[in-house]
Amino acid sequence: MGQLIEGKLTTRDQAVSRVLKWSPWLAFLLLSLPPPLVFLLLFLTATATDSAAVYLLLSLFSLGLGVVLGLLAVVVLILYRGSWLRRLRNRLAADGITANEVTWFTSELTSAERRALAEIQSQNPLLADAYLETLATRLTATRIRSRAVQELIRADRRINRARSLGGVDTAELIRGLETDRERYSHLKTEASSRLAEAQARLQTIEAAASRSMNQVETELMLQRLSVAQEKLPLVLEMAKLEEDALRESRLGLQENNDEE
């Protein structure tokens, strides 16, 4: 029943996701390794030469067959996982994407957004929360705009088909279709506006985070420079003392040579 809850992530979804994440590689191991290992064990324990040869051949054959079947299972399970994730994302987006659900939409983020999110999360948790909220808004606006564009294309096709009908009064039908097209056009415009606002806010947060990170790095470098400057007189004094000691030792050695 939890799978039917629109827009809500359930514990069953999380469990299925974990299973589908590891099942391809587990299926590959289960299909490719057990039969060859069994025949290999029989080969090692065989007393007759003919039986050992047969078991060895069976072990090699089952290994090849198991690898082929394992790879086929991996491909099938990966494709099924991709299809399942798409259905899950569509269901989660039905009532709008939230910040907590952004992790399920990482495939729809740009590489720059993923990189910026990782950097901000490691440096400033508060800005990271704002960035996640804005990413959720951007993803929702992008989906709405994409859906509006698709509906606009369908509406144009319906209008063209209606106008091509002959001998039938299609005025009422065309008016209704044009009303739908106007509604989808307005939805596209609104979604585009929200998308532009979200993208501008993302850049604002990235700039604020960058300034914060640069400030922290600058302060650390200044602290290290101050420590180095504080140690510099001491280092110079020690070098001067070493030089004086070396000079005195040379003078003492020279005086001893002159006395001799």
3-state helix, strand, coil in the chain (%, to 5): 90, 0, 10
Predicted confidence at residue 224, as pLDDT, reads: 59
* 34-43, 78-87, 116-125, range with greatest mean pLDDT: 78-87
Rounded to 5 degrees, φ, ψ at 152 are -60, -40
Contacts of 202 (CB under 8 A, 6+ apart): 113, 116, 131, 134, 135, 138
More confident site: 101 or 46: 101
Stretch 235-246: mean pLDDT: 62
- pLDDT for 232: 46
Lowest mean pLDDT among 34-38, 193-197, 232-236: 232-236
Per-residue pLDDT at 205: 87
Q: Nearest Cα to 66, choosing from 100, 90, 102, 39?
A: 39
Closest to 146 in 3D by CA, of 228, 89, 212: 89
Question: Residue 210's pLDDT is what?
Answer: 78
What digits encode the pLDDT tens for the residues 138-169? 999 999 999 999 999 998 998 888 888 776 77
Whole-prediction pTM value? 0.68
- Does the pLDDT at position 1 exceed 50? no
Tens-place pLDDT, residues 215-231 = 555 555 556 545 544 55
- Confidence (pLDDT) at 223: 63
Q: What is the mean pLDDT of the chain?
A: 82
